[in-house]
Chains A and B, each alone.
Chain A
Amino acid sequence: MAASDDGARDGDGSGATVRPGSTAVHAPGVLVRVTPWAVVTLGETADEASVLHGTAVDVWNAFARPARVVDVATDLAAGYRSDTEEVLAGVLDVVRRLVDAGALRLVPGGER
């Protein structure tokens, strides 16, 4: 995943404890706008909106239903024909940012 593709504008997440085995899903109160080139999200309590481009949009879409981070990374790596570990690192970063921004919610007990 190219760094320029998976950035989340205005997101500076660092507090969420997200692991490869964590399960996440779109947060219930998140507000979303979808364009052909970007997804814009605003969590219920977030100070700033997040603008997702490129592969970060794929990550966002993958969590429309509860999914494990590692499973999403594996699927995306297969689709991109990329190294799974490298993609996993990118997915973890995006998920952390989106959890911090209130756009994704970690599912309690979803750690496996």
Chain B
Amino acid sequence: MTTTEHDRSFALAVAAHGITARDDARVQPLESVGFDDLLTVALRERMTGLLCRAIDDGAIAASEEQRERARRAHEDALIRDLRLERLLARTSEMLAHEGIAHCALKGPVLARTAYDAPELRSFADVDVLVERDGFDHAIRVLVEGGGTRRFGEPRSGFAARYTKGVCVELTDGCQVDVHVSLAAGPFGLAIPVDELLASPDAVEVGATRVPTLRVEHRFLHACYHAALGDDPPRLVPLRDVAEMARRGLDADAVLAIAARWRGLAVVQRALLLVGATLGVRIPEPLGGWSRSHRPPRVERVALRSSLPSSGGYGRQAAAGLLLLRGARARLRYASALLLPDRAYLDARDGSYLRRWRRAARLALGRRR
């Protein structure tokens, strides 16, 4: 085993601590493989809470000085978590005040609903899903509140209709990701977001009741994030999936919804990644389903196009045509991509001809 593999094994032991019998790192002295590296990974992966618990439980051997450093790092992470939670509560109140239907997503919600204790799940930003009709309004309100919108759009209204969403950066460095779907690319386009917003759950954040996705939708979103987000996948999104699966889900309901979203291939990939990466056994019937399911071809093609290694945003955007339902919707989408506003074009391809050539290369499967 190389040093890098050894370091990785500690990170994996932390990410899976408490939910798997596999504790490879237990008997080995941490000093020999670099506590600094482990702490860096724990900070990057937002799992300092799991690191502290693994040290306290004796699953990771650490000196008193290392234990103290891990604790201080975790305290700083918790301070940031609370600031983000407060931002989430204020954002939710603001959106509700403006009459914009929305749901909180990811970290702050999963920390409170999917883990033994919220301290175990840190996060980097605030994510909210909003109704498409309220998207521009939501962005405007956040920008008027001092935020800066990152990234432009091919045409006015494109982001609201076809993308996963946009990020608004606030003056204190915190970010609010405003989503109009749960994933970028073709799988995101196939999700009926209005249905998600029509039947929300809620969590209490301080004195604010914040709407969230209901549990089946939360699980599917966790799968989409784990399967499509990064390559190699980040560890905490995998842990999210494992935590939710082991807490018991209505598997039939989950898979029925995933089928309607044309996202069974995504769910399968997420579950297999959890097993292969964290060594966590997914409970039945989802575990057995993930090992035997054969996804439809269109989903397999869309999945390949959606992975971070597939060639980036352009390829994902092109693959959007695959899962959109209806010729009119596809035509409208292709038109928006190929005929963007002049300012957007100038900032990227420079001319329509260059853009169309790039689109043709993507369609033919070439990267350059």
Contact A40 B78 (CB under 8 A): yes
Contact A42 B52 (CB under 8 A): no
| B27: Cβ under 8 A from any A Cβ | no
Q: Which of A9, A31, A37 contacts B85 (CB 8 A)?
A: A31
**Interface centre among B49, B79, B118, by most A CB within 10 Å?**
B79
Contact A33 B71 (CB under 8 A): no
CA of A40 to CA of B122 in the docked complex: distance in angstroms?
A: 13
Note all chain B residues with C-beta closer than 8 A to A35: 49, 52, 71, 74-75, 78, 119
Give a binary string over A23-66; 1 marks a CB under 8 Å from any B CB, 0 the rest.
00000111111111110111010000101000000000000000
CA of A42 to CA of B82 in the docked complex: distance in angstroms?
A: 6
CA of A49 to CA of B84 in the docked complex: distance in angstroms?
A: 12
- List the B residue with the shortest CB-CB distance to A9: B75
The distance from the CB of B281 to the nearest CB of chain A, in whole angstroms, is 28
Chain B residues bordering chain A, tally (CB within 8 A): 20
Contact A42 B86 (CB under 8 A): yes
CA of A51 to CA of B182 in the docked complex: distance in angstroms?
A: 35
Note all chain B residues with C-beta closer than 8 A to A31: 82, 85-86, 205-206
The distance from the CB of A33 to the nearest CB of chain B, in whole angstroms, is 4
- List the A residue with the shortest CB-CB distance to B71: A37
| Apart from A40-B75, A44-B207, A49-B78: 11 A-B pairs, beta carbons within 8 A | A9-B75, A10-B79, A33-B81, A35-B52, A35-B75, A38-B75, A41-B82, A42-B83, A49-B79, A49-B83, A51-B79
The distance from the CB of A9 to the nearest CB of chain B, in whole angstroms, is 8
CA of A44 to CA of B208 in the docked complex: distance in angstroms?
A: 11
The distance from the CB of B51 to the nearest CB of chain A, in whole angstroms, is 12
CA of A49 to CA of B81 in the docked complex: distance in angstroms?
A: 10
Note all chain A residues with C-beta closer than 8 A to B327: none
The distance from the CB of B204 to the nearest CB of chain A, in whole angstroms, is 10
Contact B207 A40 (CB under 8 A): no
The 7 closest A-B pairs by CB, nearest first: A29-B207, A42-B82, A29-B206, A49-B79, A33-B78, A40-B78, A31-B82
| B56: Cβ under 8 A from any A Cβ | yes
Q: In B77-104, which residues have CB < 8 Å from any A CB?
A: 78-79, 81-83, 85-86
Give a binary string over A1-38; 1 marks a CB under 8 Å from any B CB, 0 the rest.
00000000110000000000000000011111111111
Note all chain A residues with C-beta closer than 8 A to B82: 31-33, 40-42, 49
Chain A residues bordering chain B, tally (CB within 8 A): 19
| B276: Cβ under 8 A from any A Cβ | no
What are 20 A-B pairs at a CB distance below 8 A?
Answer: A28-B206, A31-B82, A31-B86, A31-B206, A33-B118, A33-B119, A34-B117, A34-B119, A35-B49, A35-B119, A36-B56, A37-B71, A38-B75, A40-B78, A41-B82, A42-B82, A42-B83, A49-B78, A49-B83, A51-B79
Note all chain A residues with C-beta closer than 8 A to B119: 33-35
CA of A4 to CA of B227 in the docked complex: distance in angstroms?
A: 46
A contact set with B: CB distance below 8 Å: 9-10, 28-38, 40-42, 44, 49, 51
Once A35-B119, A40-B79 are accepted as A-B contacts, the answer to whether A28 and B207 lie under 8 Å apart by CB is: yes
CA of A66 to CA of B74 in the docked complex: distance in angstroms?
A: 30
Note all chain A residues with C-beta closer than 8 A to B207: 28-29, 44
The distance from the CB of B23 to the nearest CB of chain A, in whole angstroms, is 19
The distance from the CB of A21 to the nearest CB of chain B, in whole angstroms, is 27
CA of A44 to CA of B259 in the docked complex: distance in angstroms?
A: 42
Note all chain B residues with C-beta closer than 8 A to A38: 71, 75
Give a binary string over B106-126; 1 marks a CB under 8 Å from any A CB, 0 the rest.
000000000001110000000
Q: In B183-230, which residues have CB < 8 Å from any A CB?
A: 205-208
CA of A49 to CA of B78 in the docked complex: distance in angstroms?
A: 9
Note all chain A residues with C-beta closer than 8 A to B117: 34
Q: In B152-188, which residues have CB < 8 Å from any A CB?
A: none
- List the A residue with the shortest CB-CB distance to B52: A35
Note all chain B residues with C-beta closer than 8 A to A51: 75, 79
CA of A35 to CA of B51 in the docked complex: distance in angstroms?
A: 12
Q: In B116-138, which residues have CB < 8 Å from any A CB?
A: 117-119
Contact A42 B74 (CB under 8 A): no
Note all chain B residues with C-beta closer than 8 A to A42: 79, 82-83, 85-86
- List the B residue with the shortest CB-CB distance to A35: B119
- List the A residue with the shortest CB-CB distance to B81: A33
CA of A32 to CA of B52 in the docked complex: distance in angstroms?
A: 18
